[in-house]
Each structure stands twice: as C-alpha cells, then as structure tokens.
Amino acid sequence: MRRREFIAGCSAAIAAMAGSKITGYSFSPYETNGAIFVYIFLRGGCDGLNLVAPVNDPNYIANRTSDVRVTDNGDGAGLQLNNGLAGLDFRLHQKAPELKELYDSNALAIIHAAGLTNGTRSHFDAMDIIERGSLTDKNLTEGWFTRYLNSTTSTDTNSLFSSMAVGTGIPVSFLGSEDTLAVNSINDYKLRGDTRYASILQSLYTGNTLLDEAAKNALNSIAEINKRIAKDASNNPVPYAPENGVKYPENALGKSLQTLAQVIKMDMGLQVASVDYGGWDTHEHQQYQFASLTEGLSKSLGAFYNDLSNYQSRLTVMVMSEFGRRLKSNKSNGTDHGHGNAMLVLGGNVKGGKMYGNWPGLDNEQLDNHVDLAVTTDYRTVLSEIIMRRLANPKLGYIFPGYKDYKPLNFLNGNDPKVDYSKAG
Amino acid sequence: MTLRKGFLNTFFPSLSSVNAPAPEIAALNRITYGPVPEEIEKVKKEGLASFIEEQLNPKETDNEKLSAKLSSATLQIRYAEKDGAAAVDESRPLNLLNASIEELWKLNNKEMMLNYQEKVRPLEEVRAASWLRAVYSKWQLREVMVEFWHNHFNVNASDQKIAIVFPVYDRDVIRKNSLGNFRAFLEDVAKSTAMLYYLDNFTSRASPANENYARELFELHTLGSDFYFNNLYNRWRDVPGALNGKPTGYIDEDVYEAARAFTGWTVADGQNLGKDKFPDTGQFYYYDGWHDNYQKRILGNEISPNQPALSDGHLALDLVAYHPATARHICKKLCIRFISDEPSEAVVNGAVKVWTQHQKSPDQIRQTMSYILNTKEFTSTWGKKVKRPFHLMASVFRTAQAELTPNQGLTGQLSQMGYYHYNWQTPTGHPDRMDYWLSSSNMLARWNLANGALSVNPNNRMATYNFISQMPAGMDKPADITNFWIEHILQKPMPAAFTETMISFLVNNGKADQPISQDKMNNKVSSLITLLTMTPDFQLI
C-alpha cells in the first residue's frame, strides 16, 4: 500500500484508536514480528581501516603513520576480534570497548571491504547513490527507504508512523516519502502559542502539494506524540528515563539514539529509522577527531542496545559510511577519500562475534585504483539481507533498481522469501 | 480512502487560496527578504525592471537606515571569571565588522588567554549584522546574493579560527564579489583564511598533498558533480576532449594534480618550522618549502616544472573557473535559487550564455543575474519554492516592521528549522530543494517561529513592535483590522471563508462587530499576524 493514502485519509479521524499501543503484528503474507531496523549513517567517510584493522598486515604498517593506525601493542593497541577474515589479526580501535563487548556476546557482526561498487570518491555523489539506491539513475525521485515503504506489505495497518529520521531533516534515503517523521527532541515536539492554531492549520493545508502533505504529516505526528509523552501531575513532559540504569553519552549520536528509543517505546508501529552521525571527514590530524568519534559511536550504541533490552529480538541496527579512506596517510597526518569500508550490524537476530565478507588484501595490485581498499561486498547485499530476512520484503529489484545478484552473507537468522527482481513496486 | 479524504475536506473546508500574487509581488518576494510598503509602491510607480536594475547596482553611501542600525546596535557578551581574567557581562557595539585580519588575529594570541566568548565574538557580530542587513538594508538583492554565495562557498564557523576571521570572509570575500567576477571571486576564496582552515589546505604540503580543498573546488565550487567522471574513466587521457586540453569533465587524477598545485598555500599562523618561522598575522601565506614544484597536468593542460610562486595554483583556478561545466553548474544553481527547484533548460542555457560572454568582465555575476531576473519564468513561477528559514524569519520581521535587536538566540531558532547560520557542517552548503525544508520537525519549527518572534511580551528580546501605529488611525473593527493585516502581510486578495476564519480567530468568542480596545490591540494583532505567517501563502515564494 502507498503509505500517504492511508495517512492523508485518516490523520484527522484517527483519534478514536490513537493513544492505544500497537501490539499486533499479524498482517500477512510476510511476517516481521514487529521488526525494527535502525540505519546509522556515519557522514564524512569513516576510516574503516582505523576502526577495524588488520594490525599486522605489512602494507597497513608501511602506508600509515602510527597515529592513524591500530596496533597490536603499545599506545595504539586495539581490541582483538575473534573470527577475523583471512586469518589476520583484526582489531577494533581501542576507544570501542562497548563494540568489543557486543561482538564478544555475539550480538555484533562486522562486514569488511564492503561499500559502493562505483568509483566515486565524492562524499556527496557517494551518499546520493547509496541513498537513492541506484548506481545508474541519478534522477530517481525516491530514496531506497521510500521504495521499501511503498512496496512493503508487512506493516501493520494500525501503524501510525512506520518510518522516522532522527534530527531536523530527512535524508535522501527517504526522499519522496511524505509521511516519514523527523523528530529532533521529543519534549519540544509541540505547537506553541494559541491552542486554536492546530485546527486552523488543519483547514489551511488541505491540498496535495508537497507543502500540504508535509503540513498534514507534521500536525498528525504532533498530536500523536503528545498523547504519548510521559507527563507529570501538572501535565508537563517529564525527562526521559532510560532502562537498566543506562546513561546516554553527551554526543550527537547519543542524543539521537535516546530520542529514537523514546519513540520506539511509544509503540506507534515504527519499522525503519535513520540516524546520522557526522564529522568523519578526517583529512588532517585524524587521531584526535577519530578517537573521539569512535568513542561516541561505541558508547552510544552500547547505551541504546541496553536501554532497549525488551526490544532486542525485534531490533537490527546497521552502521555504514559513504566510503572508507585512503590506505596511505597524507602529510597532514590525515587520510583522503577512499573506497571499501567496514560495516557493523547489531541486533537480536544477528549471528555476531564474527567477521563477514571477503578480504581483498592490501598489496598494491589488490587495491582499488592502486590506492584504496577494494569493495568485495556490495552495500546493497548487506541491506538486502536485512530487508529480506527481518523486514520480509522480497522486492529487491524495485527497492534497488538494477540490482540482481543477491547472495546473502548469512549474518542474520531467518529465511529469505523468494527474491523478486522485477522493477515494479 | 478517497471517500474519506473527500469527507474530511468538507469537514475542514479548504480556506487557503494559494493563488499566486501579482507578478511584481512574486518577484519582490524573491529579490527582497519580504517587500515593505515603500518597495511595493516604488515598483507600482516605476516598474519592476527599473527596480531590478537599481537593486543590481547598490550604492554603499545610500543606505542610511541600515548605517544607523549598524552603528547603534549592541550585542550582549557574557562570561564568568576564569584563570584570573575578570567576568564580563555587557552590551557591546558591533566593533569588529570592519576590523582588519591583523586586528582580529590578535584574538588568537595564546598568551592573552582570551575567553572563548571573545574569540567567537567576530562571528557573532557578523551574524547580528546579517539580520540587520536583511531587515533594514535598502539593497535587498545584494543581501540575498550574499546569502547565496555564503551557501555556495560554505565554511563552518564552529571552528574557532574561522569564527575569529569571519568578518573578513564575509566582507572582503563574499560581499565584495557577490555581483562581481567569478574568477576573481574564486581566488579570493582560495586565499581566504576561512577556507584554508575549513578545507585543510593550510596543512597541505608535498607529498602526498591534502586533497580536501582541491576536490571540493572541482565538485562544489566550480564544475560540479554532474561532470565528475571517475566512474567512467580511470585515466585522464580517456576523458573525451582531454587530449586537446578540453576534457568534458574531471576525474580523480585531476583532483590529485590540482591538490599538488595548491601545496604551500597556507596561513601565516606564526608556526615555527625550525629553519623558517611564519609571520603571525592570520593572512594568506605562500610557503615555497611545502610546494610540490614539479610538472603537473590538470584537465588535460600541462604545467611545466619549477614555475614561479603561486603560478600553479593560479593556473588551476583559471582552468576550473573558465570550464564550460562551471558556467552550467553555477547558472543552474542560481536559477534553482531564484526560479524553481527544476528550472527550464531554456532559462539555464540563456544564463550560461551571458555568464560565458562576460567571463572576463568585472561584473559577470551582475550581468547573469540581470538576465535571470528579467526572464518571464522569474515572475511566473510563484509557489515553486518555500522560503528558506533565514528568509522566512527576516520576512516576519520586515512585514511586521520590527525594531530588531538581534541576539544569539536567533541562531538557535534557525537551526530548529534546519538552517545553520554560518555553521553548516559540510562544504555542500544547505540543499536547495523544497522537500529538505519540509520535514515534520522543520515544519513545526516554521510554525513556532513567529509565536516567539512576533511576541509583544516584554520578554521578547529579539524585537519590539508597534502595530497600532501601522494601522489607519481609529481602526478598531475586527473585520477592518483583519482585512488590513491580510492585505499587508499576504499582499493578495484571499477567499471570504479565509477572512471569516481570521476574523473569528481575532475576536475569539467575542462579537464580530465589537470594537477592539486599544489596550488589547497589540496583543490581539500579534496573534493574528502570527497565524498569518503560518499560512501556506506566507510560507511559499
């Protein structure tokens, strides 16, 4: 079903059922059991060779100063991972102990040498292609998430909001999706001033232009979220209290994931969400910025996963970036734009504690264009396994136009429905 | 589903006409940050073309209202006592807008141990001034252009060093060139301390060079990503036209070579290299010891080894500035800003022609703008865009004739709407697509904006208003008041049902013919205008 029809038709009259929690997920034919997929995008090109590194590879050692390299001992010593690729000693950056813990408890899988199978080294090109989901058509008017939402039959009909972007804006992956929520801070998500504004606005935005749809979506979501916010005796929102004594770190990702956890616990039928975490474009003096971002990533993911302990069986989190960075560091002690990269997948149905993919090696002739880690796993293959096994949508040909060689890496439990490569939604 | 939708539409009848205003009004809403009555009168009397011509030729000396505002404005600065330095809490004039880079650079002096607030003060003053200019400058189009170029040559002034030199970037780079020549503009940007820090070129030395600036120079500042052919070609000679020195686009090899051309383009930041010590002025500085002096090939053009200082970089700038892809990229971007998210090929082609004809003229950008603003498409495409948040907010202040006292809180208000006032993180600048500004979170913030900004409560630190003085003397009937403000703010006739709704909102359970008393007038009008700014008719442009 096309989501917008439902929302446009029901938003105003939905009051009777709204406020109740969405608990049934019995909609067929595909069963998702309320799966929730969180897509974390590290904007700027995260240096995967500084996050998950083959520490003793002689090419790795020769091409990088120790400041931008994970080592097996000394100041930069990394956290050793079992079940690495190609028999190499892979280690996480030392600022990622929470990730190490999740990996060791089999909740986290790492896929290396993955990414976009297109030669671009441009951030904005790479992100655009990844998020529109087509290697060839730059002018697609919809993002891949939007096509997923348009084609999925597994959303519960009672779902109020099946998709959300955390932050003020909507990323390209949701381009053309008129009912995706953008929420930055739950407790500020309300219309201020005269109480009559809402109903008048409702009568002002009744058309079907982009602006009208945006306005309807905003009005609808403001009403629904405000019904569900925890309030004190005088009807003021109370600060969010995470479960299990979790404290989210004070960084951008920590704040975003806390907002997302709040929305997930409102049980409004959320199915897919995107979260951005920027600042990874480390062209100079990488060591400081990278360490602090990695610490932020690790602590935030750890907090989020523990806060949602009751949702872990439904939750899958994927972390990716637009590309990795150059094997050889530059004279500014940074790294320039590269190619292949590491991806992380976390969740209750992940066969974690293991690295996946095909390690291409770092010899000069093994590198992409003689400079960068090659891509041996298409990012769409990783996403497709999640879409197929967790979100039960087989329409890969529609979601990723032109994609036709899905070979699962098997990092997830579950079975694949019969894959559908047809272009039609 | 359709049945239900139809039912709801009768239940909540559509009140908005969302019809275009007169073409002149539509144009004024794009040339200015919301037209004031004098501008509307002027266009009615002298015609739009003459107004455009005048706006394209701003005269510094003829801007009294703004000059007075800038010289009387103050901005709070406040910080606690720290490390023996005294606490400060004062209203200070905007002293740094005209400061030289040497003066500003003193704020960077480590021995002075200045408080962080003192270091970001130059940025805060430019922000405050940008509000005063948008709201009060006679030369509205120039301010709109300055905003366009700040976004095109985006830097993120969250970096303290960029905050310190920001008045120079705003004044001597962006403002100076906003209607000038693109090649000259590009060189001023390349040598600006702000950009050298932002895209890391200040650290770039042989070898390997730091590619950050060179890459964005091609992709964002000049040719654009539509002409990045790295996925198609691995070798420079394979790009069509490259063997004749006229490649149709660029690949990574061009980026690598251009990065080499800019090695040694750095900042006089006082660093001590042992054998050499840089001056400590904050100015652009060329350090030959870091330059890669050997031969290069950029866009199919060879550069011989051992050229004079700066010559490699200057040549690289020539090659990108005069490339046909650059003309298309920039002209299309201007058309997207001023016309619609999808301007016609015809209007883009027309702009490209003018741009290229004038590529050596000192007023290349003015000539191109004159073409774009005089096309029929410019006045006939109202409603194809929404106001950008800075524009939306400035237009709220202008339409309500605010006595504006800009403060740091305005920056936060803008960020709620997805607009980062000189601190957008990536070198792309903000997207210029309607849907970006319309996420549910941004939409909500766009509605909430006027509730604070137009408040007549004394707690409103942004602005004060006198609505009564703007209305005809003695006007006190709700219908008259409503009609007056609808006309004033939306500048077009609205359907009767819309007006009725606004009247009943204004009287709020009272009687529609009951006069509104003077002591309640400002409050009542404030709520009414707030609502009018929330309508699609005010949000669209």
Each residue's pLDDT, cut to its tens digit, for chain B (541 residues) gives 233 333 334 444 455 557 899 999 999 999 999 999 999 999 999 999 999 999 999 998 999 999 999 999 999 999 999 878 899 999 999 999 999 999 999 999 888 889 999 999 999 999 999 999 999 999 999 999 999 999 999 999 999 999 999 999 999 999 999 999 999 999 999 999 999 999 999 999 999 999 999 999 999 999 999 999 999 999 999 999 999 999 999 999 999 999 999 999 999 999 999 989 999 999 999 999 999 999 999 999 999 999 999 999 999 999 999 999 999 999 999 999 999 999 999 999 999 999 999 999 999 999 999 999 999 999 999 999 999 999 999 999 999 999 999 999 999 999 999 999 999 999 999 999 998 999 999 999 999 999 999 999 999 999 999 999 999 999 999 999 999 999 999 999 999 999 999 999 999 988 888 999 999 999 999 999 999 999 999 999 9
Which among A322, A277, A318 is positioned nearest to A130, based on CA atoms? A322
Cα(B261)–Cα(B314) distance, integer angstroms: 9
Q: How far A337 CA sits from the closest chain B CA (Å)?
A: 8
Contacts of B27 (CB under 8 A, 6+ apart): B43, B48, B52, B373, B378, B379
The span from the first CA to the last CA of chain B, in angstroms, equals 31
Q: Is residue B227 part of a domain?
A: yes
Structural domain ending residue among the three candidates B269, B299, B320: B320
B539–A contact, CB cutoff 8 A: yes
Q: Is the same domain home to B208 and B316? A: yes
Residue type, B269: D
Cα(B326)–Cα(A136) distance, integer angstroms: 23
In sign, the C-alpha dihedral spanning B227, B233, B234, B235 is negative
Contact status, residue A334 vs residue A68, Cβ threshold 8 Å: yes
The number of distinct structural domains making up chain B is 3
Which one of A332, A333, A335 makes the best mutation probe of the B interface by having the most chain B beta carbons within 10 Å?
A332
Q: Is the same domain home to B250 and B262? A: yes
Cα(A42)–Cα(B32) distance, integer angstroms: 38
Q: How far B370 CA sits from the closest chain A CA (Å)?
A: 30
Contacts of A45 (CB under 8 A, 6+ apart): A123, A126, A280, A281, A321, A322, A323, A324, A325, A337, A338
Q: Is the same domain home to B213 and B306? A: yes
Q: Is the same domain home to B304 and B209? A: yes
Cα(B422)–Cα(B417) distance, integer angstroms: 14
Tell me what pLDDT residue B344 has: 97
Tell which A residues from 57 to 116 touch B, by Cβ distance under 8 Å: none
Chain B residues whose CB is inside 8 A of the A332 CB are: 200, 203-205, 210
Contact status, residue B390 vs residue B422, Cβ threshold 8 Å: no
Q: Is the same domain home to B279 and B337? A: no
For chain B, the helix, strand and coil percentages under 3-state DSSP, each to the nearest 5:
55, 10, 35
Q: Is residue B502 part of a domain?
A: yes
The answer to whether the Cβ–Cβ distance between A207 and B436 falls below 8 Å is no
Residue type, A412: L
Cα(A170)–Cα(A175) distance, integer angstroms: 7
Could you say which of B12, B434, B442 has the minimum Cβ distance to residue A168? B442
Q: Is B7 helix (H, G, I), strand (E, B) or coil?
A: helix
Contact status, residue B212 vs residue A336, Cβ threshold 8 Å: yes
A169–B contact, CB cutoff 8 A: yes
Structure tokens at A77: 């010593």
Range of the domain at B329: 324-380
Q: Is the same domain home to B296 and B315? A: yes
What's the complex ipTM? 0.91
B8–A contact, CB cutoff 8 A: yes
The answer to whether the Cβ–Cβ distance between B435 and A175 falls below 8 Å is yes
Residues of chain A with pLDDT under 50: 1-20, 22-29
The answer to whether the Cβ–Cβ distance between A8 and B436 falls below 8 Å is no
Searching chain A, which residue's CA lies closest to the CA of residue B500?
A200
DSSP string, A265-307: HTTS---EEEEEEE-----SSHHHHHHHHHHHHHHHHHHHHHH
Q: Is B89 helix (H, G, I), strand (E, B) or coil?
A: strand
Chain B residues whose CB is inside 8 A of the A210 CB are: 434-435, 438
Tell me what pLDDT residue B17 has: 52
pLDDT tens, B378-415?
999 999 999 999 999 999 999 999 999 999 999 999 99
Q: Is the same domain home to B349 and B263? A: no
Searching chain A, which residue's CA lies closest to the CA of residue B435?
A210
Could you say which of A122, A192, A214 has the minimum Cβ distance to residue B438? A214
Structural domain ending residue among the three candidates B293, B320, B347: B320
The answer to whether the Cβ–Cβ distance between A168 and B415 falls below 8 Å is yes
Burial (CB count within 10 angstroms: exposed 0-12, middle 13-18, buried 19+), residue B97: middle
pLDDT tens, B330-340?
999 999 999 99
For chain A, the helix, strand and coil percentages under 3-state DSSP, each to the nearest 5:
35, 15, 50
B448–A contact, CB cutoff 8 A: yes
Q: Is the same domain home to B262 and B345? A: no
Contacts of B395 (CB under 8 A, 6+ apart): B29, B33, B34, B387, B538
Burial (CB count within 10 angstroms: exposed 0-12, middle 13-18, buried 19+), residue A205: buried
Q: Is residue B315 part of a domain?
A: yes
The answer to whether the Cβ–Cβ distance between B416 and A43 falls below 8 Å is no
Cα(B397)–Cα(B440) distance, integer angstroms: 24
Cα(B416)–Cα(B395) distance, integer angstroms: 17
CA angle B411, B412, B417 (to 5 degrees): 100
Alpha carbon B445 to chain centroid, angstroms: 19
Tell me what pLDDT residue A168 has: 85
Which one of B215, B271, B444 makes the best mutation probe of the A interface by having the most chain A beta carbons within 10 Å?
B444
Structure tokens at B76: 């709070």
Dihedral pair phi/psi, residue A129, rounded to 5°: -65, -45
Q: Is residue B290 part of a domain?
A: yes
Residue type, B110: K
Could you say which of B9, B209, B505 has the minimum Cβ distance to residue A330? B209
Alpha carbon A150 to chain centroid, angstroms: 19
Structural domain ending residue among the three candidates B290, B320, B350: B320
Q: How far B535 CA sits from the closest chain A CA (Å)?
A: 7
Could you say which of A197, A209, A210 has the minimum Cβ distance to residue B531? A197
Q: Is the same domain home to B328 and B304? A: no
Strands B74-79 and A108-115: unpaired
Counting one residue from chain A and one from chain B, the pairs whose CB atoms sit within 8 A come to 197
Q: Is residue B159 part of a domain?
A: no
Which one of A118, A139, A161, A206 makes the best mutation probe of the B interface by having the most chain B beta carbons within 10 Å?
A206
Element (H, E) at B130: helix B121-136
Tell me what pLDDT residue A327 has: 98
Q: Is the same domain home to B285 and B350? A: no
Q: Is the same domain home to B303 and B330? A: no
Structure tokens at A241: 């209290």
Q: How far B440 CA sits from the closest chain A CA (Å)?
A: 4
A43–B contact, CB cutoff 8 A: yes
DSSP string, B377-442: HHHH-TTSSB--HHHHHHHHHHHTT-EE---THHHHHHHHTT--TTT-SSTT-S---GGGGGSHHH
The answer to whether the Cβ–Cβ distance between B440 and A183 falls below 8 Å is yes
Dihedral pair phi/psi, residue A17, rounded to 5°: -95, -20
Tell me what pLDDT residue A16 has: 35
Look-up: residue for tokens 């709201």? B135
Chain B residues whose CB is inside 8 A of the A8 CB are: 1, 5
Tell me what pLDDT residue B14 has: 55
Cα(B141)–Cα(B53) distance, integer angstroms: 10
Cα(B356)–Cα(B349) distance, integer angstroms: 10
Q: How far B300 CA sits from the closest chain A CA (Å)?
A: 20
Residue type, B318: D
Tell which A residues from 211 to 240 touch B, by Cβ distance under 8 Å: 211-212, 214-215, 217-218, 221-222
Q: Is residue B256 part of a domain?
A: yes
Could you say which of B8, B199, B536 has the minimum Cβ distance to residue A13? B8
Chain A residues whose CB is inside 8 A of the B199 CB are: 283
Q: Is residue B155 part of a domain?
A: no
B18–A contact, CB cutoff 8 A: yes
pLDDT tens, B455-480?
999 999 999 999 999 999 999 999 99
Contact status, residue A318 vs residue A386, Cβ threshold 8 Å: yes
Cα(A351)–Cα(A389) distance, integer angstroms: 13
A287–B contact, CB cutoff 8 A: no
Element (H, E) at A164: strand A163-166
Tell me what pLDDT residue A156 has: 63
Dihedral pair phi/psi, residue A99, rounded to 5°: -65, -40
Cα(B270)–Cα(B278) distance, integer angstroms: 5
Strands A272-278 and B88-93: unpaired
Look-up: residue for tokens 């960084």? A251
Alpha helices in B174-290 (DSSP H): 176-177, 182-190, 193-198, 212-216, 252-261
Q: Is residue B430 part of a domain?
A: no
Ranges of each domain in chain A: 29-179+231-399
DSSP string, A24-62: ----SSS--TT-EEEEEEEET---HHHHEEETT-HHHHH
Cα(A307)–Cα(A256) distance, integer angstroms: 13
Alpha carbon B219 to chain centroid, angstroms: 20
A121–B contact, CB cutoff 8 A: yes
Burial B472-489, CB ≥16 within 10 A → b, else e:
eeeeeebebbbbebbebb
Which CATH number describes the domain made up of A29-179+231-399? 3.40.720
